[in-house]
């Protein structure tokens, strides 16, 4: 479910830059949490670029992104260019139960998880299989893990699905793309992260200048108030 866009500026002459694209700082800490909560494919120790996909098993836009970009992303994983994490972000009623079942499948056989995702997303109009997953009784403690992963997404500023995080260890930042921007734009951003080209540097600079940047971990209300008081004191001095 894609959040509403607020147009800011055209970027690269093709895609409008919006509040749906932003930077998250301190990617090393983000990656620690991804390792704790995510379903991993590839070696994130060797890869500079680490992708995270916040998904809902019942999300039509997630299905479209998987159909159009899934094979491309997995080819990068197999080539050792990127590591990939699937991250729970259930937004449809009952989806959290389905995500528990998907986690069980992954624990038993990571390849089987990919096959189930392919089956679900290849025909999103057929809800029978997803509904069967939703209607499975699961323990609360397993649901809590799924919801902890969703809270992690919210701490990063995620509002809906799909949301893709493109983490770059060398820069200790991540680009976050809310919603599905289409195959061309998605692949272009990933390729630019892999090559760290000049256009990527321009984009990062622009996002910082217009304030599309979030800190991780997010500051608590007390930390924010303390920071504001310090800034006020310094300005008055």
Euclidean distance between the first and final Cα of the chain, in Å?
48
- Residue 125 confidence (pLDDT): 85
Model confidence pLDDT, tens digit, residues 33-91 = 999 999 999 999 999 999 999 999 999 999 999 999 999 999 999 999 999 999 999 99
Q: What is the dihedral of CA 214, 6, 191, 85, to 10 degrees?
A: 50
The chain-wide mean pLDDT, for the chain, equals 88
- Residue 6 confidence (pLDDT): 37
Model confidence pLDDT, tens digit, residues 129-154 = 999 999 999 999 999 999 999 999 99
Give the chain's radius of gyration (CA, Å). Answer: 18
- Residue 127 confidence (pLDDT): 87
- Residue 219 confidence (pLDDT): 83
pTM score of the predicted model: 0.86
Residue 189 has pLDDT above 80, yes or no: yes
Distance (Å, whole) CA 230 – CA 141: 41
Residue with tokens 């989806």: 95
Instruction: Please compute the mean of the pLDDT values over residues 146-175 and round it to a whole number.
Output: 98
Distance (Å, whole) CA 203 – CA 211: 12
Whether 179 and 55 have beta carbons less than 8 Å apart is answered as no
Q: pLDDT band for position 7 (50/70/90)?
A: very low
- Judged by DSSP in three states, 118 sits in helix
Write down how long the chain is.
237
Can you name the CATH fold of 14-236? Glutaredoxin (3.40.30)
Instruction: Please compute the mean of the pLDDT values over residues 4-10 and round it to a whole number.
Output: 40
Residue 8 has pLDDT above 90, yes or no: no
Distance (Å, whole) CA 132 – CA 142: 17
- Residue 17 confidence (pLDDT): 56
Distance (Å, whole) CA 193 – CA 191: 5
């Amino acid at each position: 479910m894609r959040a509403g866009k607020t147009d800011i500026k055209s970027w690269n002459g093709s895609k409008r830059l919006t509040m749906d694209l932003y930077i998250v700082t301190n990617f090393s800490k983000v990656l620690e949490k991804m390792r704790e909560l995510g379903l991993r494919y590839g070696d994130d120790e060797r890869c500079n670029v680490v992708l995270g996909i916040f998904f809902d098993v019942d999300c039509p836009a997630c299905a479209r992104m998987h159909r159009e970009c899934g094979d491309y992303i997995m080819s990068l994983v197999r080539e050792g260019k990127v590591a990939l994490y699937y991250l729970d972000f259930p937004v449809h009623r009952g989806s959290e139960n389905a995500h528990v079942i998907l986690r069980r499948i992954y624990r038993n056989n990571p390849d089987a998880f990919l096959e189930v995702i392919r089956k679900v997303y290849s025909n999103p109009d057929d809800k029978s299989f997803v509904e069967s997953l939703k209607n499975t009784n699961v323990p609360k403690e397993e649901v809590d893990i799924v919801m902890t992963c969703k809270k992690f997404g919210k701490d990063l500023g995620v509002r809906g699905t799909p949301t893709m995080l493109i983490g770059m260890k060398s820069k200790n930042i991540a680009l976050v793309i809310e919603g599905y921007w289409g195959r061309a734009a998605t692949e272009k951003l990933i390729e630019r992260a892999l090559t760290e080209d000049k256009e990527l540097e321009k984009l990062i600079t622009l996002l910082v200048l217009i304030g599309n940047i979030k800190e991780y971990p997010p500051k608590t209300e007390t930390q924010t108030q303390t920071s504001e008081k310090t800034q006020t004191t310094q300005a008055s001095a």
